[in-house]
Homo-oligomer: A and B are copies of this chain.
Amino acid sequence: MGKDLSFKDKKVITIGIVRELTGLSERQIRYYEERKLIFPERSAGGSRKFSFSDIELLMEIANKIEDGIQTHEIRKEMQREQKKQNQEEVRRKMIQGQLNAQFGIRKQ
């Protein structure tokens, strides 16, 4: 079920490192969060924590911004993609459910 998200999706990287890794300014990174493009977690003290996936996403966002696409549009694009992936997920689960019903792989 799902991919191996053990490392790539773990939110463990502070904003300073993200700045170095992406070349973006902290201002930009915080702004993209404000515009709901990325969703860092927070430490107990309030510091943002990012994942490697967030970093990859930030690079894509930066490219689109450079192409003149507005954050508003980028968010909509991302929602469309997310929706598509969700549907894919539902389809897979339904097929799996039917297989289980017919050929009966029972849980013990």
Measured CB to CB, the residues of A under 8 A from B are 7-8, 10, 12-14, 16-17, 21, 43, 49, 52
> What are 14 A-B contacts with C-beta separation under 8 Å?
A7-B7, A7-B8, A7-B52, A10-B52, A12-B12, A12-B13, A12-B17, A12-B21, A13-B13, A14-B14, A14-B17, A16-B43, A17-B43, A17-B49
Cβ of A21: which chain B residues have Cβ within 8 Å of it? 12
The CA-CA distance from A13 to B57 in the complex, in Å, is 19
The CA-CA distance from A4 to B8 in the complex, in Å, is 13
Which of A10, A12, A13, A16 has most chain B Cβ within 10 Å? A12
The CA-CA distance from A12 to B12 in the complex, in Å, is 8
Cβ of A17: which chain B residues have Cβ within 8 Å of it? 12, 14, 43, 49
